[in-house]
Amino acid sequence: MKGDALGSSGNEDVVCLAGVTKRYGGRGAATTALNDITLSFERGSFTAVMGPSGSGKSTLLHCAAGLARPTAGTVTLDGTDLTSRPERALARIRRERIGFVFQSFNLLPELSAADNVALPLRLSGKHPRRAAVTAALDQVGLAGKRRSRPGQLSGGQQQRVAIARALIGSPSVVFADEPTGALDLVAGAEVLGLLGSLVRAAGTTVVMVTHDPVAASRADRVVFLADGRIAGEILRPQVDAVAARMAHLADRGQVAAAATARTEPSW
């Protein structure tokens, strides 16, 4: 298969990237963030994406989620080609079929937990039922906090509200960008346990970008990136194995940087 390819074991794929390349900048100063990547995510799977700083992790997530258009290649969601859709149609797909969880929670401080959860449906022109919002909050253990505003909640509780918001529309996939980065160890472990239970109990597909080997070890699979290319994967990951692979990638990057510096002119 062309490019860097990691596929599935034959189960149904929800998101597929085929030959995806993403460049930024003009022709004279272009930066290649992703380089000809082919990768898929199975329905009901939990995948962590890791790599050194600048490896293309966030760009991969943004392209897979339809937040950025690749320079080349295609991204499909449940068979729908996202790269060919006009922006208005793409925005509707993101609202209705994709859930997002971010490190900074992105909750509106003036809204209650319930109203924050209901917001994506309201933005889609729908009128969420109270029972559906309560069920989403109950799914993350916060049914009793529906009237609380973000400032009245702990960081872990705010992230759980954000997860309930991501789930309210029954998305095909949830993308999580460093979901435990702003949390302490206990709250982070609770959020990771919740994401894992969603995969096992509800068949939700989760794709998580993280720098933390402990967080990555809670996933079914870890995909590694380096210099915009796939640098391997680990199935059923253990913390030590993930940490060792990340250390190897970091060392390799330092060697490459040193080699580049030696070849650059001194003037």
Question: How does pLDDT run across 34-49, given as a tens digit for each residue?
Answer: 999 999 999 999 999 9
Domains of the chain, with CATH numbers?
4-260 (3.40.50.300)
Listed in sequence order, the residues at least 6 apart from 7 whose beta carbon sits closer than 8 Å to its beta carbon are 1, 13, 38, 39, 40
> In terms of DSSP H, where are the helices of 73-150?
87-97, 113-123, 130-139
Tell me the DSSP string of 148-177.
--GGGS-HHHHHHHHHHHHHTT--SEEEEE
Higher pLDDT: 73 or 25? It is 73
Q: Residue 142 corresponds to which tokens in the numbers above?
A: 């916060």
Do 36 and 3 touch, CB atoms closer than 8 A? yes
Higher pLDDT: 185 or 11? It is 185
Do 18 and 38 touch, CB atoms closer than 8 A? yes
pLDDT band for position 125 (cuts 50, 70, 90): confident
- What pLDDT score was predicted for residue 34? 96
User: Whole-angstrom Cα distance, residue 46 to residue 41?
Assistant: 8
Q: Residue 83 corresponds to which tokens in the numbers above?
A: 């790269």
Write the burial class of residue 191 (CB in 10 Å: 0-12 exposed, 13-18 middle, 19+ buried). Answer: buried
Coil, helix or strand at residue 266: coil
Q: Is the pLDDT of residue 250 over 90?
A: no
Q: CA nearest 49: which of 239, 231, 265?
A: 231
Q: Residue 20 corresponds to which tokens in the numbers above?
A: 């995806």
pLDDT band for position 251 (cuts 50, 70, 90): confident
- Element containing residue 16 per DSSP (H, E): strand 13-24
- Single pTM value for the model: 0.87
